[in-house]
Amino acid sequence: VTDQAFVTLATNDVYCQGALVLGQSLRNHMTSRKLAVLTTPEVSSGMRSILHSVFDEVVEVDALDSADSVRLALMQRPELGVTFTKLHCWTLTHYSKCVFMDADTLVLCNVDELFDREEFSAAPDSGWPDCFNSGVFVFRPSLKTYNLLLRFAAEHGSFDGGDQGLLNSFFSNWATADIGKHLPFLYNLSSSAVYTYIPAFNHFGRDAKVVHFLGATKPWNYKYNPQTKTVMQDGTTSGSFHQLPFLALWWNIYSASVLPLLEKLQKVESESEEYKNEVAHSISELTIHFKPEESSPEDERRKWEEGRIDYRGKDAFERIKKKLDAFLH
């Protein structure tokens, strides 16, 4: 199905790690839909190339930020103003229907049936069930909706400073109008908050389809032991040990499919660094022969630190030895 896509967002390299695990989990469960990721210019070119190996489409958009520090402080998440960037998903009009998923979500099985739902479908928020959680939702890209959302944001802002407050005010009849637009909680199971209702988790939890690592501590903030394939317990997990299997699953995908890509990139980058140094070295050799350089001590130091060492000229061993001898005397 080429005119429908799962869409996520990563405005920096850290959230890209989540986006990659999410994308890989959708691939592992054989989605028949396209995968698209929205990025901003802050994402490095190396990370962008890795995103291309998992996603069909890597779309660069401008960052949108609510800059509403007062409301964001209520959630103790000052960094979430930038989630307004999510609104760009309505500009992907080459798709007729999409499912947005936060970069801190993970699918546990194939969830393509979500495309049977209509705009605007989402699951209840565990903190305030008359609101939907905006970590997973079904929508129809449309420039008209996009512009209405921007206008709405400019006029009313967002009651939580992030996209969730804004979208809940915009799609304000979600709670009451059409139960078909209420996704089961299993499609956006919040890994931390669910344990406030442990009996329900024990009863229904095995049918979870999407897990959402909602909250300030994300899977990539934990330590993982690759030998035992377990996530290290720390102060934050001790109260909610139920989420450990989900964290372990995230880390399994990360270490099996994402880390190798990051390591390959690191290798390519360090090799090209060596190549750059070699070129710089031959250039500096040429300059000794053809152009006696006049440069400041700061320039010299910078060249030395960049590995552009003038082995045959001023940095020749003979001269360094002379200098050392002078110090020693």
User: For binding to ligand UDP (CB under 6 A), which residues are involved?
Assistant: 8-12, 15, 79-80, 82-83, 102-104, 135, 214-215
How many residues lie near ligand GLC (CB under 6 A)? 12
Measure Cα distances from 84 to 122, 149, 200 in Å: 17, 10, 33
Residue 281 Cα distances to 47, 214, 277, 284, 314, angstroms: 29, 50, 6, 5, 13
CA torsion angle 284 289 292 298 (round to 10)? 20
Q: What are phi and psi of 141, to 5 degrees?
A: -55, 135
User: Is the Cβ of residue 122 or residue 310 nearer to ligand UDP in the bound state?
Assistant: 122
Angle between helical axes of 45-54 and 13-28 (0-180°, round to 10): 10
Using CB under 5 A as the binding rule, whether residue 160 contacts Mn ion is answered as no
Encoded one letter per residue, x for contact with ligand GLC by CB under 6 A and - for no contact, window 121-160 reads ------------xxx------------------------x
Tell me the C-alpha distance between 269 and 124, whole Å: 44
Binding of residue 102 to Mn ion (CB under 5 A)? yes
Query: What is the Cα gyration radius of the chain?
Result: 26
Closest CA to 59 of 89, 33, 95: 89
User: Under rule CB under 6 A, which residues in 192-221 are in contact with ligand GLC?
Assistant: 214
Among 71-79, 96-104, 251-259, 281-289, the segment contacting Mn ion (CB under 5 A):
96-104
Instruction: Closer to ligand GLC by CB, 17 or 134: give it.
Output: 134
Q: Convert residues 109-148 into a mask of x (bound to Mn ion by CB under 5 A) and - (unbound).
A: --------------------------x-------------
Q: Taking Cα atoms as reference points, which of 150, 158, 134, 157 lies closest to residue 88?
A: 150
DSSP strand E in 174-229: where? 189-190, 210-212, 224-225
Choose from ligand GLC, Mn ion, ligand UDP, none: what does 160 bind? Cβ within 5-8 Å by kind: ligand GLC
Interaction mask 65-104, ligand GLC, x per CB under 6 A: ---------------x--x------------------x--
8 forms bridges with which residues in the sheet? 37
Residues forming a β-bridge with 39: 10, 60
CB of 104 to ligand UDP, least distance (A): 4
Nearer CB in complex with ligand GLC: 24/66 = 66
105 counts as binding ligand GLC under rule CB under 6 A = no
Residues that bind ligand GLC (CB under 6 A): 80, 83, 102, 133-135, 160, 162-165, 214
Residues that bind Mn ion (CB under 5 A): 102, 104, 135
